[in-house]
Amino acid sequence: MNTAPMQLAAPSGLIGLVFFVVAVGLLALLAGGFWMTSRVKYRESARPRPEEQPKLPPEGAVHEVRENRDYREVPKTPKGGRPLTPYELGNMDSKTSEEQKRPRWSSGSSGSFGGGGLGAH
């Protein structure tokens, strides 16, 4: 009697069983993911109704303001003194600059290095 075909059939059946178990495990993970997602969505607050949506202010849309700003200088460290820490500096406020003319590039210049222009002459 020849037992070679029996020996080959056993491992292939075992491999098929392993693939089946892995597939069932993946399906269980996928189903668990859907279940968890539905639980999280159920606990979220409801979407706002149309009357609860944000409204424009009575004066209309807010527009962009372009201005040049002057910043306060960082105080100089006195000779032999210690520099200030960021916490001691506080909020470094700025104010509207007296010069509101926007800086422009030189004529004939592209405004960037390697931009292909002739550059300032």
Q: Which residue has the tokens 């807010």?
A: 62
pLDDT, position 14 = 84
pLDDT in tens, the chain (121 residues): 555 555 555 567 788 889 999 999 999 999 999 999 999 988 988 888 999 998 888 888 888 888 888 888 888 888 888 888 888 887 777 888 888 887 666 666 555 665 555 555 5
Overall size of the chain counted in residues:
121
Q: How far apart are CA 77 and CA 91, in angstroms?
A: 18
pTM (whole model) above 0.75: no
Reduced to 3 states (helix: H, G, I; strand: E, B; else coil), residue 67 is coil
Contacts of 106 (CB under 8 A, 6+ apart): 119, 120
Residues 6 or more apart whose CB falls under 8 angstroms from that of 105 comprise 111
